[in-house]
């Protein structure tokens, strides 16, 4: 493209007349000599004012061209070539003149145009010395705007990406907090009531936030010797705490709360003006967060220990009941201690239950709920086994409160002479020094300091043979063919006679499976790093529940189930195969010999899981309070306790005398 220049100033004019005129020779020579000079002046290489400054002018203009070229090269897809392809143009107002520059022009043309269109009064030495600053205004301004716009777009995209990531992390943290599963409380925690509340109590949250910020400013004020401000903040903190009290919802707040919020807000605004320092505030909040985290961990350990302790103990009311019944029993004459219908105890055509317990009240609920929901109570026989301490109380309770037409019999586990350490491996292990140290030595390396989850293995029930007696059912009841085993923390809600009609397909154990997609499988209970476990069992095999089990005692004897249990129990003397308990050896002993029952027969989790569907509970034949929150303990979940207490006779004189209430 050609750019028109002021060539006429040199005296060279185009002849606009007819085609017959000729230039003089002198004029032609002059044109030939001056034309190159005019061309270079037009291209910006020579100065129009002084030809003596050629060298410096050429150097300066080359630098300008290099700057423009470097900036256009950096633009990548937005380079000068792309502007040419897209036929972009830019316009600027400069020095009071409107200049339109075609972007498709070359860099040198743009330089020359800008130089010639600048007023002569402004062509001083400063522009010659600072040519790059002069050239930046028209061309690079547009490019800088484009670069800034591209940076802003990229930054906005990154910020949005960061926000999306933060939201995902927050949502993941919320989901993890909802699935908190501790060894003590399972998935249940009181504070979740507030977290699950859809109606956000903004006033309560505001007061708490104000208290937190006030504590931050107290610390900063103390650091900066602002004693008056620190004292005033401490007063407001106490007032806000009194207004908040134990409230968890806005409805529970004191009437003075709005006034306290306003006063605290004014003081915080004043403190912010005087004390706010971003770095200090951030540091204090981080320190408070770390301190709170440490406190939560410490309190969680304490809660674990106390919950385990509560789960191990017997409430005063039940202990009182047991003692009173024991005294009454041993005051009876021997002939009055016998139960009627003893001829039914070995009749294989009846429905037999095995119940091993040292809790009188719990055993009474199991028997009462079973009989009250049975269609033919006279055909049901209950075989109860207790320990020496509670044997008299268990007898006396059912002598005073016979289960209708059903048959009942109570035995003392300590009177089973065949159950001794030479025959039973677990008895031998329980008598060992290592086992006693594990249970009773406080400073053992596997105590609370080594992990709160280990506390659950120190439950005294694992020391009692009542817990291990389930592996000796054919020895305890040699004349029976089939028996239904019940734990003492269950409630029967339907007639159970249908279980005796279930075809076990040659299996020994009929039980409800407990595995889901990834939990309650064998790898949760057994140590698969041990070669004996890894070689004999599938880690993904489905677990099942003790608590309501149908046992075919004929198949039991045929397959020598007790012998299998003895073999595994002997190998686990050092607890290298599994931790203490009866479910892991049960899973191993009945591996491949368990028939799955319909889940409606047995619903578990009422002792740890607060989210069981009410319909599932009401439709279940048996509900099981497995877990630490037993229904007879104060830490029981209120929503499930009603299924258990309705089978207790609270008007009984012994119940009233021992202050056992709903």
224-276 pLDDT, tens digit per residue, is 888 899 999 999 999 888 888 878 788 878 788 888 899 999 999 998 888 88
Residue 451 zone, left/alpha/beta (φ > 0; ψ -120 to 50; rest):
left
pLDDT higher than threshold 90 for residue 77: no
The pLDDT assigned to 175 comes to 64
Angstrom distance (rounded) from CA 179 to CA 189: 10
The pLDDT assigned to 126 comes to 43
Strands 594-596 and 509-511 come out as parallel
Angstrom distance (rounded) from CA 376 to CA 565: 35
In this prediction, residues 149-174 reach a mean pLDDT of: 73
For the beta carbon of residue 315, count every other beta carbon within 10 angstroms: 17
pLDDT band for 606, please (50, 70, 90 cuts).
very high
CB 507 within 8 A of CB 593: yes
Q: Reduced to 3 DSSP states, what percent helix, strand and coil does the chain have, rounded to the nearest 5?
A: 55, 10, 35
CB 393 within 8 A of CB 522: no
pLDDT band for 432, please (50, 70, 90 cuts).
confident
**Higher local confidence (pLDDT), 21 or 266:** 266
pLDDT higher than threshold 60 for residue 131: no
Closest CA to 384 of 372, 367, 371, 368: 367
pLDDT band for 135, please (50, 70, 90 cuts).
low
Got the DSSP string for 101-129? Answer: EETTS-HHHHHHHHHHHS-GGG--HHHHH
How far is residue 373 from each of residues 308, 366, 624, measured CA to CA in Å?
33, 11, 16
Helices then strands, each counted (H, E), the chain: 27, 12
**Higher local confidence (pLDDT), 53 or 230:** 230
For residue 85, give the H/E element and its range.
Answer: helix 80-86
Rg of the chain on CA atoms, in Å: 46
The pLDDT assigned to 396 comes to 96
The pLDDT assigned to 65 comes to 53
CB 285 within 8 A of CB 216: yes
Angstrom distance (rounded) from CA 595 to CA 482: 14
The pLDDT assigned to 454 comes to 55
Q: With 0-12 CB in 10 A as exposed, 13-18 as middle and 19+ as buried, what is 145?
A: exposed
The pLDDT assigned to 199 comes to 47
The token duo for 646 is: 């309705």
CB 79 within 8 A of CB 56: no
* Strand partners for 521: 542
The pLDDT assigned to 554 comes to 95
DSSP 8-state code for residue 609: -
pLDDT band for 363, please (50, 70, 90 cuts).
very high
The pLDDT assigned to 101 comes to 39
Least confident of 177-181, 312-316, 404-408: 177-181
Contacts of 511 (CB under 8 A, 6+ apart): 544, 545, 546, 548, 549, 550, 594, 595, 596, 597, 602
CB 363 within 8 A of CB 394: yes
The pLDDT assigned to 449 comes to 43
CB 594 within 8 A of CB 508: yes
The pLDDT assigned to 341 comes to 92
CB 206 within 8 A of CB 261: yes
**3-class state of residue 351 by DSSP:** strand
pLDDT higher than threshold 70 for residue 31: no
pLDDT band for 1, please (50, 70, 90 cuts).
very low
Which phi and psi angles does 544 have, rounded to 5°? -140, 175
Which residue is listed with tokens 């990548």? Answer: 76
Angstrom distance (rounded) from CA 280 to CA 367: 66
Which residue is listed with tokens 């036929």? Answer: 87
């Amino acid at each position: 493209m050609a750019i028109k220049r002021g060539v006429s100033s040199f005296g060279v004019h185009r002849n606009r007349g007819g085609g017959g005129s000729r230039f003089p020779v002198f004029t032609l020579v002059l044109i030939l000599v001056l034309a190159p000079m005019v061309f270079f002046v037009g291209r910006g290489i020579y100065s129009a004012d002084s030809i003596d400054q050629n060298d410096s002018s050429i150097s300066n203009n080359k630098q300008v061209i290099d700057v423009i070229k470097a900036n256009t090269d950096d633009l990548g897809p937005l380079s000068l070539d792309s502007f040419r392809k897209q036929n972009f143009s830019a316009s600027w107002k400069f020095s009071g003149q409107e200049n339109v520059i075609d972007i498709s022009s070359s860099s040198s043309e743009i330089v020359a145009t800008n130089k010639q269109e600048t007023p002569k009064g402004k062509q001083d030495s400063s522009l010659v010395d600072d040519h790059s600053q002069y050239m930046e205004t028209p061309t690079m301004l547009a490019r800088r705007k484009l670069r800034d716009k591209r940076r802003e777009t990229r930054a906005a995209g990154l910020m949005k990406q960061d926000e999306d990531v933060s939201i995902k992390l927050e949502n993941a943290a919320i989901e993890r907090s909802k699935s908190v599963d501790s060894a003590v409380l399972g998935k249940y925690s009181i504070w979740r009531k507030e977290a699950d509340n859809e109606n956000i109590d903004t006033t309560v949250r505001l007061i708490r936030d104000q208290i937190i910020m006030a504590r931050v400013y107290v610390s900063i004020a103390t650091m900066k010797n602002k004693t008056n401000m620190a004292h005033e903040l401490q007063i407001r903190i106490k007032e806000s705490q009194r207004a908040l009290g134990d409230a968890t919802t806005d409805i529970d707040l004191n009437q003075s709360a709005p006034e306290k919020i306003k006063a605290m807000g004014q003081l915080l605004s004043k403190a912010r003006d005087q004390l706010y320092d971003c770095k200090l505030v951030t540091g204090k909040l981080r320190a408070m967060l770390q301190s709170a985290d440490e406190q939560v961990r410490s309190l969680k350990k304490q809660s674990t220990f106390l919950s385990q302790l509560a789960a191990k103990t017997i409430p005063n009311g039940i202990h009182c009941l047991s003692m009173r019944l024991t005294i009454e029993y041993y005051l009876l004459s021997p002939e009055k201690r016998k139960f009627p219908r003893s001829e039914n105890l070995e009749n294989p055509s009846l429905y037999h239950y095995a119940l091993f317990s040292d809790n009188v009240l719990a055993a009474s609920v199991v028997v009462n709920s079973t009989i009250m929901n049975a269609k033919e109570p006279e055909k049901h026989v209950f075989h109860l086994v207790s320990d020496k301490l509670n044997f008299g109380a268990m007898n006396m309770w059912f002598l005073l409160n016979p289960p209708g037409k059903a048959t009942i019999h109570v035995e003392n586990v300590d009177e089973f002479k065949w159950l001794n350490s030479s025959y039973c491996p677990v008895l031998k292990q329980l008598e060992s020094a290592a086992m006693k140290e594990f249970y009773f030595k406080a400073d053992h390396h596997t105590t609370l300091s080594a992990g709160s989850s280990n506390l659950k293995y120190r439950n005294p029930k694992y020391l009692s043979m009542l817990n291990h007696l389930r592996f000796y059912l054919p020895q305890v009841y040699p004349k029976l063919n089939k028996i239904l085993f019940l734990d003492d923390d269950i409630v029967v809600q339907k007639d159970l006679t249908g279980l005796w009609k279930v075809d076990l397909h040659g299996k020994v154990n009929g039980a409800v499976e407990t595995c889901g997609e990834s939990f309650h499988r064998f790898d949760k209970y057994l140590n698969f790093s041990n070669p004996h476990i890894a070689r004999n069992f599938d880690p993904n095999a489905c677990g099942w529940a003790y608590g309501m089990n149908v046992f075919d005692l004929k198949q039991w004897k045929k397959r020598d189930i007790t012998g299998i249990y003895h073999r595994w129990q002997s190998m686990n003397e050092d607890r290298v195969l599994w931790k203490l308990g009866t479910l892991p050896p049960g899973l191993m002993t009945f591996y491949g010999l368990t028939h799955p029952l319909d889940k409606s027969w047995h619903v578990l989790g009422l002792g740890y899981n607060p989210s069981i569907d009410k319909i599932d509970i009401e439709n279940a034949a048996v509900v099981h309070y497995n877990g630490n929150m037993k229904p007879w303990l104060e830490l029981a979940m209120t929503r499930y306790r009603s299924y258990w207490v309705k089978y207790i006779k609270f008007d009984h004189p012994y119940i009233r005398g021992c202050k056992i209430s709903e």
